[in-house]
Amino acid sequence: MKLRVISNPSAGSGSAQRRLPVLKQLLQDRGIQAEFVETRGPGDASRLVHEARADGVECLGVMGGDGTLNEVSQGYLAPDGTPLAGPDLALIPSGTGGDFRKTFDLGDTLEAAVERLATAEPRPLDLGLLEITAHTGETIRRAFLNITSFGLGGLTDRLVNAGPKWIGGRAAFLVGSLRALISYENVPVRVRVDGQVALEAPIVNVAIANGRYFGGGMKIAPDAAPDDGSFDIVAMHGMTRAQSVGLTSRIYQGTHIGQKGVHFSRGALIEAESLLPRAEVLIDMDGETPGRLPLVARVARGALRIRA
C-alpha cells in the first residue's frame, strides 16, 4: 500500500502537529511505510489530494478535524462538479471537531487509527455534490462528506470560525449556537426532495445529512448511512428561540426525530430556496460557510472509499 498522510499543523490549535511524531513511530512499529505532507494554508489540502492522485497514492491518511476533511473532499471534485476517483481515505483523529468519524464509531486514539490502516477493508463512501450561491453572488460547486445545513447552522459556523478554538469542539459549537440563536430570525424556505415539495415553512435549520453528527457532537441524523445513496433531511421549523433551545438536549441524544417542529425526509436530490428574495440564508458545509441559498445537493453513491 502506498500511503501518504496529509497533516494540518494548525488543526485543533496545533494538536495535529504535536501528535505527528507519535503517529510516525506507531506506523514504523507496525512496519507501515508512509509519506508525510503538511498543508500550508486554507484550501491547500485539496491541492495535496490532486498531487496524491497523480503520484499513484493508494491510501490517503487525513490528520486533522472536520475542516481539514472538508478541504480534502474538494480534491475529489472536478471543475464541472462531477466526482473524481482517487485514493482511499483513512481518518486520523486530530482537530477541533471530529463529527464525521463518530458516524463510524471511530475512537480518538492514534493506536486505533493505525490499526485501521493496517487491517481495515475499504468500504464505499458517498460524496455529496453541491451547487450553491457564493457570498459574491456567483454559483459555485463544492463537495461534502458529512453534513450540509442552512439557517442557524450557517450563522453558527460564521461565529465559531471567528471565535476561540481552545475551549474545545463541543463547547465552541455550543457557545456559537447560543450566540447565533440570539440574533437569528426564522426565514421561510421551500425544500424539494427528489422533485417533490417536502417543506415550505420558516426554518430554524435544515440539515442535509450523509453522516450522523455535526456541531461538536449533535446527533442530528441518527439513522443516516454514508453509503446508502441517500441523504437524510432533518428540518427544524416554526419554532421560537425557547423551543429551539429546549430541543438541544434531544438533538445531542438523537431523540428529536418525530418531535413537534421537526420534519424528516430522505432523498438523493435536494433543492432549497429562500421565499424572501433579499434574505441571506447561510450554508454550513462540514463546518465551513461557503455561501448561501439557493442550493442544489446530489448524492454521488460510492464515489469514494474509506478504510473504517
pLDDT digits (tens, 9 = 90+) for 213-225: 998 889 999 999 9
The reply to whether CATH 2.60.200.40 applies to domain 127-302 is yes
Fold classification of 3-120 is: Rossmann fold (3.40.50)
223/151 Cα distance (integer angstroms): 22
Query: Stretch 85-102: mean pLDDT, rounded?
Result: 87
pTM: 0.91
pLDDT digits (tens, 9 = 90+) for 34-70: 999 999 988 899 999 999 999 999 999 999 888 889 9
Give the single-character DSSP code of 140: E
Instruction: Place 108 in a pLDDT band, splitting at 50, 70 and 90.
Output: confident
| One fold for 3-120 and 127-302 | no
- Indicate the domain borders of the chain: 3-120, 127-302
Question: To which H or E segment does residue 241 belong?
Answer: helix 241-253
22/143 Cα distance (integer angstroms): 31
Q: Identify whether the C-beta of residue 74 lies closer than 8 Å to the C-beta of residue 42.
A: no
- Which range (8-22, 187-201, 245-259, 261-275) has the least confidence? 8-22
